[in-house]
Structure 1
Amino acid sequence: MKEQIPVGMNRTGVQMSPFETSTMQAGMPASMTPATPGDDTALADMRSQYITDADAIGSVPVPATVQGAVAAGASMMLGNQPQLLLDKLGERLAFERTGTRLYDALITKFEATQDSTTSMTLADLQKIRQDEARHFSIVASAIEALGGDPTSQTPCADLVGVESMGLVQAVTDPRTTIAQSLHAILIGEMADNVGWEMLIALAEDQQQISLISDFSVALDEERAHLLQVRNWLEEATLGAVVSDGALVDDISDANPPQVH
Structure 2
Amino acid sequence: MKQQPEMGMNRTGVQMSPIDTTSMQSAHPTLVTPVPPGDESALAEMRSRYINEADGLGSVPVPGTIHGAITTGVSMLTGNKPQLLLDKLGERLAFERTGTRLYDALITKFTALQDDSTSMTLADLQKIRDDEVRHFRMMASAIETIGGDPTSQTPCADVVGVESQGLMQVLTDPRTTMAQSLHAILVAEMTDNVGWEQLIALVEDQGQMSLITDFSVALDEERAHLQQVQRWYEEATFGRSISDGAVVDDVSDMNTSAPLH
**Deviation, structure 1 residue 185:** 0.8
In the alignment, the residues of structure 1 paired with residue 243 and residue 19 of structure 2 have an alpha-carbon distance, to the nearest angstrom, of: 50
Letter of the structure 2 residue corresponding to residue 123 of structure 1 = A
**Does the 8 Å CA contact 2:144/2:150 hold for their aligned counterparts?**
yes
Structure 1 runs of 4+ with >4 Å offset: 22-28, 34-38, 242-246
**Deviation, structure 1 residue 21:** 3.6
Q: Residue in 1 aligned with 2:199? A: 199
Cα RMSD after superposing both structures: 2.1
**Does the 8 Å CA contact 1:3/1:236 hold for their aligned counterparts?**
no
Letter of the structure 2 residue corresponding to residue 114 of structure 1 = Q
1:215 aligned to 2:215? yes
Q: Residue in 2 aligned with 1:177? A: 177
In the alignment, the residues of structure 2 paired with residue 26 and residue 50 of structure 1 have an alpha-carbon distance, to the nearest angstrom, of: 33
Q: Residue in 2 aligned with 1:92? A: 92
Structure 1: any 5+ residue segments left out of the alignment?
29-33, 247-260
1:179-258 matches, cutoff 5 A? 179-241=179-241, 244-245=244-245
1:30-41 matches, cutoff 5 A? 36=36, 39-41=39-41
Cα distance change on mapping 1:46 and 1:244 into 2, 3 Å: closer
Between the aligned residues of both structures, percent identity stands at 73
Q: Residue in 1 aligned with 2:47? A: 47
Q: Residue in 2 aligned with 1:31? A: none
**Deviation, structure 1 residue 243:** 8.3
Q: Deviations over 1:165-221 (max 9, x none)?
A: 100011111111111000011111011001000110000000000001000000000
Cα distance change on mapping 1:24 and 1:72 into 2, 3 Å: closer
TM-score, with length taken from structure 2? 0.86
**Does the 8 Å CA contact 1:80/1:206 hold for their aligned counterparts?**
yes
Q: Residue in 1 aligned with 2:4? A: 4
Structure 2: any 5+ residue segments left out of the alignment?
29-33, 247-261
In the alignment, the residues of structure 2 paired with residue 150 and residue 229 of structure 1 have an alpha-carbon distance, to the nearest angstrom, of: 29
Cα distance change on mapping 1:122 and 1:84 into 2, 3 Å: same
TM-score, with length taken from structure 1? 0.87
The total of aligned residue pairs comes to 240
1:136 aligned to 2:124? no
In the alignment, the residues of structure 2 paired with residue 118 and residue 220 of structure 1 have an alpha-carbon distance, to the nearest angstrom, of: 23
Q: Residue in 2 aligned with 1:159? A: 159
Local SS of the residue matching 1:138: helix
Local SS of the residue matching 1:164: helix
**Does the 8 Å CA contact 1:3/1:237 hold for their aligned counterparts?**
no
